[in-house]
Amino acid sequence: MDRTFAPSGPIPLSTSFTVPTNPIINLPVTFTSTTLGGTAPYSVAWNFGDGSTGTGVLVTHIYTTTQTFTVTETATDSSSPAQTATSSQSVSVAVPPPLTTSFTVSPANPLVNTQVTFTATSAGGTGPYTVAWTFGDGSTGTGSSVTHTYTAAQAFTVTETATDSSTPAQTATSSKSVTVSTTPPLTTSFTVIPSSPVVNTPATLTASTSGGTGPYTISWSFGDGSTGSGTTTPHTYAAAQSFTVTETARDSSTPQQTTVSTNTVTVSTLQTGNFGSCASLPQGWNCGNTNGLTGSSVDIVSGVLQTRESNPGVGSDNSYYYSTTQKGTFPWDPCRAPANGVLPSTVSSVSTTFTPLTITASGSYRYHIYVALYYWLPNGPVSAGGSTYQCLDTQVRIENIGGSF
């Protein structure tokens, strides 16, 4: 017969403890006991090796000298008779690492009467740290991050001193030369889009400002009694004439800088209504000419040229059979300067919209609608590609060749 006998009495008591790897002088060191066996609860007593003692499973102690100490922990259980277990370790207490400090300056190139931020970075020693500043102009400050405003343009030596919390305290110093410059002159200008505004059509004015100290404040006088504000602002003129626009920019420096930009904006009337009187065209054409095409017509209604061609396939490259009209005197041959006063001087763009009517294809033919703009070169003829020109033209057209439109 096999029998198992349980051991009589409590399990033997054992104990151990942990301690930080690199204790620092004048800083708390934490000791933690772990006890097994015996009969709980346990009582724990400590001898820190420097003449000091303590009790408890978790204790802290501060060493005031740098050397190696033998720490002994004694655990006692609650059995009767009580068991006792002891654990010992050597603890080497060291001085803290050397204190170091440095700082940054933002902006790196500060301006007179503009706030500058100084930020210290300290390491080593024993935290927390206290930081003191001398800004080189007789002013001082405290704190890891401080601001300061210089009122003179020159180079200043800034010194930052960091002090730690160890005993005795460590001190570290960092210095830099900070060059403060005068504020660059404030300048401003503006653009107008479109550059030649039209009556009752919004124009956009945009300011471009530099120098001084941002942010900037922009105000406008549009020359027609109206005002506005903002870097970009719209404005609509109700009359066709020239206006003097004034833009005023102010910066944020102390004292404040102000600068002004002025431009003349010429507002024109939208070209509407009839094209005006028509002059004779080459090959016998006249304003509203249909050149004898049966059922064809041409008219100008409220500034819109309306044509109808009812004879597809009629005509050739040398005999133009289509309706036409024109504004101004622009003979094709010879090239001559336009008649004085015929063209409005404020025209900067021409908009063309084609609205073709129903067209039925009939055989092979060429069909096109176009608007031609002719330019007279007032400074004399220009030679290019073996030819000489004093008139240039551009065309906008809708064209179909040999098919249905």
Note the pLDDT tens digit of each residue in 221-240: 999 999 999 999 999 999 98
Q: What is the pLDDT of residue 307?
A: 58
Spatial distance between the Cα atoms of 380 and 218, rounded to a whole number of angstroms: 45
Domain assignment present for residue 1? The answer is: no
Which residue, 153, 179, 205, sits at the end of a domain? Answer: 179
**C-alpha distance from residue 188 to each of 7, 207, 220, 223, 241 (Å):** 98, 7, 12, 18, 25
Which residue, 231, 247, 266, sits at the end of a domain? Answer: 266
Domain of residue 325: give its range: 271-313+321-404
Domain assignment present for residue 232? The answer is: yes
- Cα 165 to chain center, whole Å? 43
Which residues is 55 bridged to in the sheet? 45
Strands (E), 136-294: 140-142, 145-149, 155-163, 171-179, 187-193, 203-210, 217-221, 227-229, 232-235, 242-250, 258-266
Six token digits for residue 4: 């198992």
Contact 19, 29 (CB under 8 A): yes
Report the domain count for the chain: 4
pLDDT > 90: what percent of the chain?
49
Q: What is the pLDDT of residue 2?
A: 59
Q: What is the pLDDT of residue 205?
A: 96
Q: What is the pLDDT of residue 4?
A: 53
pLDDT digits (tens, 9 = 90+) for 56-87: 999 999 998 889 999 999 999 999 999 999 99
Spatial distance between the Cα atoms of 397 and 391, rounded to a whole number of angstroms: 19
Q: What is the pLDDT of residue 141?
A: 97
Q: What is the CATH number of the domain that holds 215?
A: 2.60.40.10
Nearest-CA neighbor of 250 among 222, 223, 264, 231?
231
* Whether residue 367 sits in one domain with residue 380: yes
pLDDT digits (tens, 9 = 90+) for 6-44: 555 668 999 999 998 889 888 899 999 999 999 999 999
Residues of the chain with pLDDT under 70: 1-10, 270-376, 389-405
